[in-house]
Amino acid sequence: MEILRYAAFSTDPAGGNPAGVVLDAAGLTGDEMLAIAADLGYSESAFLTGDRLRYFSPLAEVPFCGHATVATAVALGERRGAGTYVFRTNAGEVPVTVDEHGRATLTSVPASSTEIDDKDLTELLTALRWDRAELDPALPPRIAYAGAYHPVVAANSRRRLAELDYDVPVLKALMEDRGWTTVQLVFRTGPAGFDVRNPFPVGGIYEDPATGAAAAAFGAYLRDLGLGDDTVELSQGTDMGRPGKLTVTLTPGEAGVKVTGDGVRL
C-alpha cells in the first residue's frame, strides 16, 4: 500500500488543499483508514477500493470531499492517462474527467439549496462572532448541498471575511447537531468572482484551504437564486497562505455542478 500526497486546486505544492490518497485500499478497514487520515493530519484523505471512494478527516468519515476527489483523479490520470473516472461515494456516483494537462473536473451529485432556519442562523452567527449587519443583503444565507451540507454566509466586506475568529467548540457542536460539513463563508469580488473561507471544526481542522464539495454546493446556491454566471471563479486559502483556485461551472439542464482544478504531488 502506498500513501500518496497531493495538493488540489493548485499547481504549486505550497498552495491548494493537501490530501492523502490511497489508490488501492482494498486491504484496509474503516478504522485503519481513519487512523491513516488522522496521522496525515490533512482536512481529508481519500481511499479507493475498485471504483468506491471513501473520505476521512482526522476525526471521522465524511460523505463527500471535492479536493480529495480531484487529488485522486489527478493521481490516476498520471498513472493511466487522461479520461473519465467514475467514483462511487457515500453521497452517490461522481464522475471526474482528467484532461491531457492533468486538470480534473468533477460533476457533483444533484445539488440544491434551501432556506436556513432563523434560529439556526442566529446560532451560527453567534458561533462565528458575526453580526447580521455584516452580512451581504444581496447574498442571503442558505443551506447548500452537493454531496454534503454547507451553510452559505456572505460577508459585506473583505475585512469581515479576513477576520476569522470563531468559537470552535460552539460551532463544532452546532455543525454536528445539524449535519453540516463545513461553513462556506464568501465575499463577492466581482460579477463572477468570490473569495471563500471554510471553517471545518467537525473534521478537526480550523479551516479548510480549498473545498471542492462546498464549491459545488455554492454553485447550486447561486443557480437556485439566479445570482451567478455559468462559470464562477473561487479564490480560497489566501488568508491561510495556501492560495488555491476553484472553477465552478453550471450547465443548463444538469442537476450536478462541475468543479475544476489542478493538482500537484507533494
What is the reported pLDDT for 130? 98
What is the reported pLDDT for 229? 77
What is the reported pLDDT for 250? 96
The type of residue at 220 is: A
**Region 207-216 average pLDDT:** 97
Cβ count within 10 A of residue 164: 17
The Cα diameter of the chain in Å comes to 52
- Tell me the percentage of the chain whose pLDDT exceeds 70: 100
Instruction: From the candidates 44, 115, 123, 233, give the one annotated as an active-site residue.
Output: 44
Where does the chain hold its CATH 3.10.310.10 domain(s)?
Answer: 4-95, 112-265
Task: Look over the chain and give the mean of its residue pLDDT values, rounded to a whole number.
Answer: 97
Name the residue with cell 447550486.
220
Catalytic-residue membership of 44: yes
SS3 sequence, the chain? CCCEEEEECCCCCCCCEEEEEECCCCCCCHHHHHHHHHHHCCCEEEEEECCEEEEECCCCEECCCHHHHHHHHHHHHHHHCCEEEEEEECCEEEEEEECCCCCEEEECCCCEEEECCHHHHHHHHHHHCCCHHHECCCCCCEEEECCCEEEEEEECCHHHHHCCCCCHHHHHHHHHHHCECCCEEEEEEECCEEEEEEEEHHHCEEEECCCHHHHHHHHHHHHHHCCCCCEEEEEECHHHCCCEEEEEECCCCCCCCEEEECEEEC
The pLDDT tens digits of the residues spanning 82-95 come to 999 999 999 999 99
The pLDDT tens digits of the residues spanning 221-243 come to 999 999 977 999 999 999 999 99
Which one, of 67, 74, 103, lies nearest residue 211 by Cα? 67
Q: How far apart are CA 84 and CA 81, in angstroms?
A: 10
CATH code of 4-95, in short, is 3.10.310.10
Burial class (CB in 10 A: 0-12, 13-18, 19+), 61: middle
**Region 67-96 average pLDDT:** 98
The pLDDT tens digits of the residues spanning 93-127 come to 999 999 999 999 999 999 999 999 999 999 999 99
What is the reported pLDDT for 228? 75
The pLDDT tens digits of the residues spanning 137-193 come to 999 999 999 999 999 999 999 999 999 999 999 999 999 999 999 999 999 999 999
Q: How far apart are CA 68 and CA 153, in angstroms?
A: 24
| Contact status, residue 104 vs residue 98, Cβ threshold 8 Å | yes
Q: Please identify, in words, the CATH class of the domain defined by 112-265.
A: alpha beta
Q: How far apart are CA 182 and CA 164, in angstroms?
A: 14
What is the reported pLDDT for 195? 98
- Tell me the percentage of the chain whose pLDDT exceeds 90: 98
CA atoms within 13 A on the CB side of 66: 38
**Region 256-264 average pLDDT:** 98
What is the reported pLDDT for 1? 85
